[in-house]
Chains A and B, each alone.
Chain A
Amino acid sequence: MALSETAFLSCRDLRKTFGATVRALDGVSVDIAPGEFFTLLGPSGCGKTTLLRTIAGFERQDSGTILLGGQPLDGLPPYRRPVNTVFQSYAVFPHMTVAQNVAFGLEMQRLPRPEIHARVEAMLALVRLAGLGARKPNQLSGGQQQRVALARALANTPKVLLLDEPLSALDLKLRNEMRLELKRLQAETGITFIFVTHDQHEALTMSDRVAVMRDGRILQIGTPAEIYERPAFRFVADFIGEANLLDATRIAPNRFRLAGGAELDTAEDGPETATLAIRPERATISPDGTIPGTVEQIVYDGADTTYHVALAGGATLRVRETNRAGLAIRAQLGAAIRVTIDPAAIRVLAE
């Protein structure tokens, strides 16, 4: 990956080891553009939170450098970095009112009283908590506390806002609401957001770009559509959304044979032995399909139905059909059917 000279926040070859063996960051390089909503996505222990905490200054990297607007941040304590953090547990100061929480960072900058007051009011309005400034945090709901944490972190107009799984403690309905809220806040403030999550749905719906991490490394960086449609690794295909991963052998250019004997045309070519990654919604049950199989399970999910199709070689292919025709079922349990897959929908992976 080329490191651009104009990147706003630039991490170069960051390494960090905990204890003797745990490689939390194993050579992480990433460039983030100004005003970007950038997401670090990965399972727990992949190093995404360590990367965020290193940018914030809570952890110090063993080697590598972090540049913000061309200036190195290395060695600066957290309170000297022009970045602010929204913590997973909110970390709202329990002994202060909402307004005092939001004012805290401004007081640390020693701004004049009237300016602090005006800014606190503006921030509370921005996160839709106007009028609740006198409340104590324990009088607020989880979602409201989250908004206080956001207002507090945004009050200092940071160059970068770091969000550490901010939605994971909220219930589903609030989470969906806050997702839109975060997008709106980012658009209104124009501040660069770096968002850490293990929830691929959050990553896809909110981000301008996503970096998928595993074992202290960034595997792939791209727009949500690129990451979803063109995963570069088996892990990425599997972690993001749902994917059928089928082992296959190349029998001709752009033609692969599955373990059970069925042959598939693909838009892209690959090595002799490859993994074919196919999204369930890109496969269809069709009488003139090339892949024969038996329906072994039907999972009805309202908007769509997923058919688990047993293939000849022992593999299972999941086929997702949208339920456009009401109660109509595309195939009965145990029925022998055929599946067709658009060659362009098949990702050929080397792994």
Chain B
Amino acid sequence: MLLAPSTVIVGAVLIAPLGMLLAISLLQRNPNGGVIWGSFSLDAYTGFLFERGFSGERELNWDYVSIFARSVGLAGIATITSFVIALPTALWMAFQPPQRRLLLVFLVTLPFWTNLLVRNYAWILLLRADGLIEQLLHALGLLDGRMGIIYTPTATAIGLTYSFLPFMLLPIYLSLEKLDRRLIEAAFDLGASRWRTLARIILPLCMPGILGGVILVFIPGLGAFISPELLGGGKTMMVGNLIQAQFGYGRNWPFGAALAFVLLVLVLAATYLHRIRFRPAS
């Protein structure tokens, strides 16, 4: 009985929209936008892998699969770079005095006060030709000519890393902060250097935080559409852009819904495999 309210909320905000999405993906598209209610079609799903040739026969089409693969690649790169940045930062933060730790956590969450779109525009100013970073490198004599980063997949990766870094940093920081300091002292006491203490004690014990960070960066990174659009110049399309396009100028709601569903199933499958792999010891 006490679970009733939460059941209603989960049903209303999670299950119902997903149900609508599934229903839309199984309808026929209305060429003028929206769908034809009451129709049924698997076109949206077959369209993911096949396209119709001139004579109506089916031909394999790898375009969408390659967009998925590129998304996985870019999200993966963003996950790895944000981990490489987040781990030392979180370590440093966790060993500050408690008062300063609070301030640092506040600073990490500060970017959330500004819209993500605006912050990605700011990166254009930094990365563009004759932008701030280029000017700085010129002034330091480290570069002449152009960096040529803006509107490339590299810029997209930078934007993704920037956007999702706090989601990597905070879970790692929280697990480090909870870590019993006596365990680190015990490792030192038993002859472990700093590096070996990190590898043998700190990292294994912070694995839940690290995995949490990886999931929180990788999965939203897969569906991101702002950074690839603005910093990648719309040239490196990711799944997020593709889905957005179907609901926007593509006017193919069923295909957009089907893409979203394929992405959801892939993510759930990956999470499930991960749970089998890292099943907590009973």
List A contacts of B201 (CB < 8 A).
93
Give, as a whole number of angstroms, the nearest-CB distance from B198 to chain A.
13
Q: Give the CA-CA distance A84 to B191 in the complex, in Å.
A: 9
Q: Which of A102-110, A171-179, A231-239, A277-285 forms contacts with chain B?
A: A102-110
The listed residue (B188, B190, B196, B204) touching A77 by CB distance below 8 A is B188
Contact yes or no, A58 B185, CB < 8 A = yes
Q: What is the bound-complex CA distance between A136 and B205, given in angstroms?
A: 14
Residue of B nearest to A95 (CB): B204
Could you tell me if B187 and A104 are in contact, using CB atoms closer than 8 angstroms?
yes
Q: Is the CB of A87 within 8 A of B192?
A: no
Question: How distant is B204 from chain A, measured CB to nearest CB, in Å?
Answer: 5
Q: Is the CB of B205 within 8 A of A95?
A: yes
Bound complex: CA A91 to CA B182 (Å): 6
- Given the complex, which residues of A lie within 8 Å of B187, measured CB to CB? 93, 104
The answer to whether A79 and B193 touch (CB under 8 A), given A91-B180, A104-B200, A136-B281, is yes
Shortest CB-to-CB span from A179 to chain B, Å, is: 23
Bound form: Cα–Cα A89–B180 in Å: 10
Question: In the complex, are the beta carbons of B190 and A108 less than 8 A apart?
Answer: yes
* A56 interfacial by beta-carbon distance below 8 Å: yes
Shortest CB-to-CB span from A150 to chain B, Å, is 12
Is A78 within 8 A of B189, CB to CB?
A: yes
B185–A105 CB distance below 8 A: no
Interface centre among B185, B189, B191, B281 (most CB of A within 10 A): B189
A88 to B142, CA, bound (A): 55
Please tell me which one of the listed residues A84, A89, A109 contacts residue B189 in the complex, with CB atoms under 8 A apart: A84
B147 located at the interface, meaning its Cβ lies under 8 Å from any Cβ of chain A in the complex: no
A94 within 8 A of B: yes
Q: State how many angstroms separate the Cβ of A213 from the closest Cβ of chain B.
A: 22
Residues of A within 8 A of B190 (CB): 79, 84, 104-105, 108, 152-153, 156
B186 proximal to A (CB < 8 A): yes
Give the residues in chain B near A109, CB-CB below 8 Å.
191
Q: Assuming the A-B contacts A105-B190, A136-B281, A156-B190, are A78 and B182 also in contact, with contact meaning beta carbons closer than 8 angstroms in the complex?
A: no
| Segment 181-217 of B: residues with Cβ below 8 Å from A | 182-183, 185-193, 196, 200-201, 204-205
Instruction: State whether the Cβ of A85 lies closer than 8 Å to any Cβ in chain B.
Output: yes
Shortest beta-carbon distance from B206 to chain A in Å: 10
A220 smallest CB distance to B (angstroms): 29
Given B183, B188, B281, which contacts A93 in the complex, CB threshold below 8 Å? B183
B182: A residues at CB distance < 8 A: 87, 89, 91
Q: Tell me the bound Cα distance from A83 to B188 in angstroms.
A: 11
Could you tell me the dominant secondary structure of chain B's interface residues?
A: helix
Task: Please state if A85 and B186 are interface contacts (CB–CB under 8 Å).
Answer: yes
In the complex, the answer to whether A108 meets B183 with C-beta atoms within 8 Å is no
Within 8 Å by CB of A108, from B185, B196, B205, lies B196
Chain A residues near B200: list those with CB within 8 A.
Answer: 104
Which partner residue on chain B sits nearest A81 by CB separation?
B189
* Chain B positions within 8 Å of A108 at CB level: 190-192, 196
Shortest beta-carbon distance from B98 to chain A in Å: 14
Bound form: Cα–Cα A89–B182 in Å: 8
A109 to B190, CA, bound (A): 9
By a CB distance below 8 angstroms, the chain A residues around B204 are 95
Residues of B within 8 A of A78 (CB): 185, 188-189
Interface mask (A92-131 → B, CB under 8 Å = 1, otherwise 0): 0111000000001100110000000000000000000000
Contact indicator B185/A91 (Cβ below 8 Å): yes
B189:A85 contact, CB within 8 angstroms: yes
Chain B residue, CB-CB nearest to A58: B185
List A residues 150-201 near B (Cβ within 8 Å).
152-153, 156
Q: Chain B contacts of A136 at CB under 8 A?
A: 281
Closest Cβ of chain B to A346, distance in Å, is 45
A85 to B187, CA, bound (A): 10
Interchain CA distance A85-B189 in the complex, whole Å: 7
Residues of chain B within 8 A of A85, CB atoms compared:
185-186, 189
Q: How far is the CB of B155 from chain A (nearest CB, A)?
A: 40
Given A104-B200, A136-B281: A91 touches B183 (CB 8 Å cut-off): yes
Closest to B207 in A: A95
How far in angstroms is the closest Cβ of chain A from B119?
38
The one of B185, B191, B193, B205 in contact with A87, judged by C-beta atoms closer than 8 angstroms, is: B185
One digit per residue, 1 when the CB lies within 8 angstroms of any chain A CB and 0 when it does not, for chain B 158-192 equals: 00000000000000000000001011011111111
* B contact residues around A94 at 8 Å (CB): 183, 205
Instruction: Determine which residue in A89, A105, A108 has the highest number of CB atoms from chain B within 10 A of its CB, and name it.
Output: A108
A–B complex contacts, Cβ < 8 Å, 13 sampled: A58-B185, A79-B193, A84-B190, A85-B189, A87-B182, A89-B180, A91-B180, A91-B186, A93-B183, A94-B183, A152-B190, A153-B189, A156-B191
Complex A-B, nearest 5 residue pairs according to Cβ-Cβ distance, in ascending order: A105-B190, A108-B191, A91-B182, A91-B186, A78-B188
Q: A94-B183, A153-B189 are in contact. List 18 more A-B contacts (CB 8 A).
A: A56-B189, A58-B185, A77-B188, A79-B190, A83-B189, A85-B185, A87-B182, A87-B185, A91-B182, A91-B183, A91-B185, A93-B201, A104-B200, A105-B190, A108-B190, A109-B191, A152-B186, A156-B190
Query: Could you list which residues of chain A lie within 8 angstroms of chain B, going by C-beta atoms?
Result: 56-58, 77-79, 83-85, 87, 89, 91, 93-95, 104-105, 108-109, 136, 152-153, 156
